[in-house]
Amino acid sequence: MIRSLFSFRTLSVVAAVALTMFVADFASAQEAAGGRSLINLTSAFSVAVVVMGAAYGISKLAAAAYESMARQPEVAGNIQTAMIIAAALIEGFTFYALFICSGKTN
């Protein structure tokens, strides 16, 4: 239990959250002082989450498709077609989400 708390993965997540909180606090302090905010993290953070989610989804899709093609080579063409359609749907959703996330609210 203690060893898993100090793993690289756990510490990197804690460091990322702490850095995000520090930068967001700094940006909101600038805005409260009456000036423009130096950093607007909301759109950049949401775009990063969308891109990471899409990359993870497509990688899982490709891994499953290649594994199933290796198990049943006779249906590889059908699997490849389904994989391409699913990847196109994931990318379409990603472009829509990027359009929504990067929109200007000024």
CA angle 69, 74, 79 (to 5 degrees): 45
The pLDDT value recorded for residue 1 is: 46
Asked whether 61 and 87 are in contact (CB, 8 A), the reply is yes
Domain spans of the chain, in order of start: 1-39, 40-106
Tell me the CATH architecture of domain 40-106.
Up-down Bundle (1.20)
The pLDDT value given to residue 5: 56
* pTM of the predicted protein model: 0.58
Q: How far apart are CA 91 and CA 98, in angstroms?
A: 10
Helix (H) or strand (E) holding 64: helix 41-71
Percent helix / strand / coil, the chain, rounded to 5:
85, 0, 15
Per-residue pLDDT of the chain (106 residues; tens, 9 = 90+): 455 556 777 777 777 766 666 665 555 555 555 555 555 667 777 788 888 889 899 999 999 999 999 999 999 999 999 999 999 999 999 898 888 877 655 5
